[in-house]
Structures are given as structure tokens and as C-alpha cells.
Homo-oligomer: A and B are copies of this chain.
Amino acid sequence: MNGLENDSLKNRKQNKSMGFQVPKGTRDFLPKEAINFFKLIQTVRKVFEEYGFDPIITPAFESFELLAAKGGLGEAVKDEIYYFKDKSDRELGLRFDMTMPLARVVSSNPQMPKPFKRYVIDKVWRYDNPQAMRWREFWQADIDVVGSSSVLADVECLAAVCKILSELGLKDYFIRVNSRKLLDGLMSKSVPENRILEVFRILDKQDKIGIEQVKEELNSIGVDGKAIIKVLTEKDIDISSFEGGQEIKEFFEYAKAYGIDKKLKLDLSLVRGLEYYTGVVFEVFVGAKVSCGGGGRYDNLIEVVGGAKIPATGISLGLDRIFEVMKEKKIFEMKNTVTKVFVANVDEKTKKNAIKIAQKLRNEGISCQTDLMNRNLSKQLQYADSLGIPYSIVVGEKELKEKKFKLKDMKKKTERKMELEEIIKFLQK
């Protein structure tokens, strides 16, 4: 320890209560949560791969210019991201989504066969106001199909998401679906084409300001609020007579082939992100209220970042939110350790034997721990218990001679003498 470190130590000691904390809006996952979070990731990964999506890995930060290209935000994106410069004054930012990095990868690797189906499960960062279910660092699980302009690609993304949510045990999910093209078609009678984006921006505020206020705002910009709302909320509208309607019909037919049509709801009032999307858009809900993901078709983005004009669609799941919902529904067994068995030694003499037995179990894929603290037997078992390790084996000279060991069920407080081979078979189950 050199001088500076000792100073730091002194300062800490003077102000013990202070301690270091995670940066605002971020959080730690201790084992109890991390063990299950990785199980969640594993399920998502498995299903993505079943659908033939392949993983890519991109850097946590990107050039600021790339990030600023999304949705035409430009400099304004600085307010929403972690922006910084490197020591050569290059402008960088932590990625706020997985789509801009994908667009960069696709535009700079034109040789890749199309469709390019990729998945990514990783962290993104946004400088949001932290609140319930909203963090500054959070996990996204994304799939995108690049190169296909067919609604088949949109449906396939949703089919993968449906399977994931079913496998996770979240039965009460549904996906709201809308179409930018259909909305354009529906509105063509009541709104001039050059006002449509403006109308979308107002409609998007519906959850915040309510339907009446939306009507008023629409009227105030000189379009017929009442007529627009009527079109969007009408129950028995024949959409196929509108532009984009045929495509949505095709979309739902394919959804039937994928077996997911019952989980999709056409919702003409879903306008979120319509400025950016060019075709079908979707938002995933678990229960009635929790939005756990969304996406849609974005046929212009790859060209915007310098690539060819390549159509693309995709969906992003918010894993933190899904995780919180799963915890609330008590879907996980919350345990503090992956360890299955603690191999205890009776005394100093049998310590190395316990280690050797543990090594045998590990070679059979069984997670185990031995004493690393030079504790006596009862303290060893106390540790195993405090961590919630489900089984223990006791290794003493008698047991070694007999070649039989007591396998103890730590919860039921029962034990059984068995040969090591039997124990391995039992624990592998």
C-alpha cells in the first residue's frame, strides 16, 4: 500500500457511513437476483436461436454522430444519453438502443446474406428520470430481420416473442399491433398528408392528457379531432378498403399460421414511435398495464446511416421489466446460490479428502463447495445452511474407510448413507 492509498483509507475511516453507492438510476443484482436473471436470458436466447436468429456483439459506446442519426434527433439526443469525449476529443455516447449499432453493422457489411436475422441481449443506457420500472441502465433483448419487406418478417419476430413469454410462464400477455401505412390510409380523408406526423405526435399524448384534450389539440391545429378519433376507435371498420389494410389482413393470416393470432390485437390508437417506423408497429404488454417491449418496421434507417436502401423490422423486449413482473408473480425460486452440495470435512486430517471428493463431483457437473475458512464441522454446516445449499456430505475417516458417506438434505433434516456413485446419480437428477 502506498501513500495515496493510505490517505484514501483514512478518509474512508473518518466517514464510514458514507460508503460508495451505485450511480443514480443503476442497480446491482446480487446472486439471488442474478441467478434468475441469467435463467431469463437463457430462455430468451434459446427461443431466439430456435427461430434461427444469430448473435452479434457490438461495443457499449458508439460514435455520437451515429447515435444522433436516429429519428433525426441530432444534437438533441445529448439530453437523453450518456455523452462523452475520448482523450482525442472524439465524440462518443453509450448506446441507447440496439438498432443503431445494427444499422451500422449492416451498412458496413453489405456482403452478408439477406435476410440477416440477428439477436442481441445486452445493456443499454438512457439518461431518463429514474422511476418505478425505469432505470438508466437496463437490459434489452432484440431480434431484427434485415432485408425482407414482407409482413412475414414482422410476424416471425412476434412469434418468437410469444413463445418466450409463454415459456417464462407469463400467460396473460398480448401484443397491440398497428400499421403506419394503414393509419396513413385511414387519415387520408380527414388530414392533409403533410400534417399527418403532427397529428401522430398529438395522438401519442393520449395516455398523458386524455382523449378530450387530444381532440382539442387536434382541432387547434386545424384538423377535425372528432372525425379522427372516430375513425381510430370505430369497432367494425372494414380496413381492407383502405391503403395498408390488405397488408394488415395478410399479417393476421400469417399470424394464424404461426399460431399466435389470438395474442395480437389490432389497435388503431397505438401511435407510439410512428414518426420513426414505416410499416407495422407493435407493443408488448404483460397483464393489462405493463409495457414490456415494442418495435416495428423501419425501412429507411439503414440508408440514413450510409448503407443501401434495405428494409428491416424488429422488436425489443425490456428484460428488467419482464424480470420484475416474474418476481411479482413469484415465478422464480429465489435462491442465494447455485451450489447443490457442501462437502464438509470432519477434521483437519480429512480436509484434502473432502477436496478430492468435491473435484469428482465437479467433474460430473455437480456444483459444490468445500470449507475454505478452516472451520470446524458444525460451522461448516452452518455456512451451508445460511447460504441455502440444499445438500451436504460429511467426510470423516470412518466414512472414507467404509466408502459410504452421509448425504444430508439440509431442509428436511434427513440423511442417508450412500456410496459416492449413488450420491452422484442422486444429485445429477
Contact = CB atoms under 8 A, between A and B. Distances in A.
Interface of A: 1-9, 12, 16, 18-24, 26-31, 33-35, 37-38, 46-47, 49-63, 65-66, 68-69, 71-74, 79, 82-84, 86-88, 90, 92, 94, 104-105, 107-109, 112-115, 117-118, 123, 125, 127, 137, 145, 147-148, 150, 152-153, 156, 159, 163, 197, 253-254, 257-259, 275, 300, 303-307, 336-339, 351-352, 355-356, 359, 362, 365-374, 383, 386-387
A365 B43 CA distance: 11
Contacts of A8: 68-69, 72, 74, 304
B372 A113 contact: no
B2 A275 contact: yes
Given A72-B3, A372-B115, A372-B153, A29 B57 contact: yes
Contacts of A74: 4, 8
B27 A59 contact: yes
B57 A34 contact: yes
Name the prevailing secondary structure of the A interface residues: mixed
A107 B72 CA distance: 44
Contact of A383 (B18, B113, B254): B113
A125 to B, nearest CB: 7
A84 B87 contact: no
Most buried by B among A68, A88, A304: A304
23 contacts: A6-B72, A9-B304, A12-B303, A12-B305, A19-B107, A20-B65, A21-B108, A23-B62, A26-B59, A29-B58, A30-B105, A30-B109, A31-B56, A31-B118, A37-B57, A51-B369, A52-B337, A54-B338, A60-B137, A87-B127, A114-B373, A117-B369, A257-B351
Most buried by B among A46, A57, A145: A57
Nearest to A305: B20
Contacts of A117: 369
Across chains A and B, which 3 residue pairs bring their CB atoms closest together, nearest first?
A5-B72, A4-B72, A84-B84
Contacts of A352: 253-254, 257
B50 A367 contact: yes
Contacts of A88: 24
Contact of A2 (B72, B79, B114): B72
Contacts of A62: 20, 22-23
Contacts of A369: 51-52, 117
Nearest to A100: B20
Given A23-B61, A383-B113, A5 B372 contact: no
A169 B92 CA distance: 38
Nearest to A3: B72
Contacts of A159: 359
A5 B76 CA distance: 13
Contacts of A22: 58-59, 62, 104
A251 B370 CA distance: 16
A7 B71 CA distance: 11
A372 B338 contact: no
A76 to B, nearest CB: 9
Nearest to A74: B4
B50 A362 contact: yes
